[in-house]
């Protein structure tokens, strides 16, 4: 599949500087692209590659236009333009409707004749699967689950009972939605299980990365809002609520009953303590620990940056001495001030 640069520019509401008739067949990096491929520049670190690229065209911001040789597609949001063009040039594979002969489907399940059910899928009682849904091999859909139109479960996905999955959702291999949350009560020195009676609700246009787990609610539901994007290997505990258009990077863990607002960005390996609230438009950088509610939009960071081991050892020792140093400094300040009463000569 190929398009002219002019057609691609029209597709993303951009403009062309150079030859709009050049043919583009695929995407590539600035360093490795050929004259039938298109690349993009968003990170200034790669600007030095722009002068030497062999790409047929490059997607750039207007601020880069004067410094760009060759054909360019100018866009106010080059990365989003690249995403749209990459999807156009590399469309997702088409699926044929139908049910593989090895699939096991309960008689009470309602599966659209426009859905695609792959090999070794198990669909239990009272499941509802809408038009255009694609269930990949090895998936298990437990009783009472509802999956809306054009959602895809890639492979080996488990959706536990009574969960609700929205439309146009993409769920990658190994995801588990609706497993029991970690609810345990101490009774005379022994742990006893607290029944997890809620479910999980997934909004429209959500993407869930490989091996991510989203626990069902203890009483009420765990809720993932519209257009949320979750990376691989994320843990979402019971009764968490994630607001619309929030993106969370890999290996983040969110403890139970925490509420994350809309349009938030959570970096990789962030830990979020339970029963707190994060307001809208918050960014938390990688490896931070969120131990209290965040009520003001902004960028938040925690953790110790990498440094030479020798210096890290010294700083670790000093960190342990901070409380003693603070006490001594406070005492010194009092001594220097003489603790004089107001009006006394110092």
Q: What percent of the chain has pLDDT over 90?
A: 88
Q: What is the DSSP letter of 167?
A: T
Q: What is the pLDDT of residue 306?
A: 87
More confident residue, 26 or 335: 26
Whether the per-residue pLDDT at 293 is higher than 80: the answer is yes
pLDDT digits (tens, 9 = 90+) for 227-276: 999 999 999 999 999 999 999 999 999 999 999 999 999 999 999 999 99
pLDDT at 261: 98
Active-site residues, by number, are 238
98 pLDDT exceeds 90?
A: yes
pLDDT, residue 346, reads: 43
DSSP string of 326-343, one letter each residue: HHHHHHHHHHHHTTPPTT
- pLDDT value, residue 343: 52
pTM of the model: 0.90
Compute the distance between CA of residue 344 and CA of residue 39 in angstroms, rounded to an integer: 74
Mean pLDDT over 179-205 rounds to: 97
d(CA 192, CA 196): 12
Check residues 226 and 43 and name the one with the higher pLDDT. Answer: 226
Residue-range domains of the chain with CATH: 3-89 (3.40.1390.10), 157-300 (2.160.10.10), 307-346 (no CATH)
Q: What's the pLDDT tens digit per position in 145-180?
A: 999 999 999 999 999 999 999 999 999 999 999 999
331: left (phi over 0), alpha (psi -120 to 50) or beta: alpha
Rounded to an integer, what is the distance from CA 233 to the centroid of its chain? 10
Quote the longest CA-to-CA distance of the chain: 96
């Amino acid at each position: 599949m190929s398009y002219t640069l002019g057609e691609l520019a029209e597709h993303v509401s951009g403009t062309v500087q150079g030859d709009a008739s050049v043919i583009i067949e695929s995407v590539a990096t600035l360093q490795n692209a050929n004259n039938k491929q298109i690349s993009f520049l968003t990170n200034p670190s790669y600007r030095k590659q722009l002068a030497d690229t062999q790409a047929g065209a490059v997607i750039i911001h207007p601020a880069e236009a004067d410094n760009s040789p060759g054909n360019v597609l100018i866009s106010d949001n080059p990365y989003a333009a690249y995403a749209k063009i990459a999807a156009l040039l590399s469309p997702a594979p088409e699926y044929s409707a139908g049910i593989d002969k090895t699939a096991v489907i309960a008689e009470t399940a309602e599966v659209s004749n426009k859905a695609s059910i792959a090999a070794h899928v198990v669909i239990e009682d009272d499941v509802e699967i809408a038009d255009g849904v694609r269930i990949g091999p090895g998936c298990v859909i437990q009783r009472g689950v509802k999956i809306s139109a054009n959602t895809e479960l890639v492979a080996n996905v488990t959706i536990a009972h009574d969960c609700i999955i929205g439309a146009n959702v993409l769920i990658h291999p190994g995801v588990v939605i609706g497993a029991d949350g970690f609810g345990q009560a101490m009774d005379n020195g022994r742990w006893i299980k607290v029944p997890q009676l809620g479910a999980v609700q997934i909004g429209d246009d959500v993407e869930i990365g490989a091996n991510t787990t989203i626990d069902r609610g203890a009483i009420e539901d765990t809720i993932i809002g519209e257009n949320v994007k979750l990376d691989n290997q994320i843990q979402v505990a019971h009764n968490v609520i994630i607001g619309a258009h929030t993106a969370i990077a890999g290996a983040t863990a969110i403890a139970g009953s925490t509420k994350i607002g809309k349009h938030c960005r959570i970096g990789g390996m962030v830990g979020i303590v339970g029963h707190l609230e994060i307001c809208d438009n918050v960014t938390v950088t990688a490896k931070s620990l969120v131990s209290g509610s965040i009520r003001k939009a902004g960028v938040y960071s925690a953790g110790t940056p990498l440094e030479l081991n020798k210096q890290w050892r010294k700083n670790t020792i000093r960190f342990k001495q901070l409380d003693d140093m603070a006490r001594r400094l406070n005492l010194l300040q009092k001594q220097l001030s003489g603790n004089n009463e107001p009006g006394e000569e110092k």
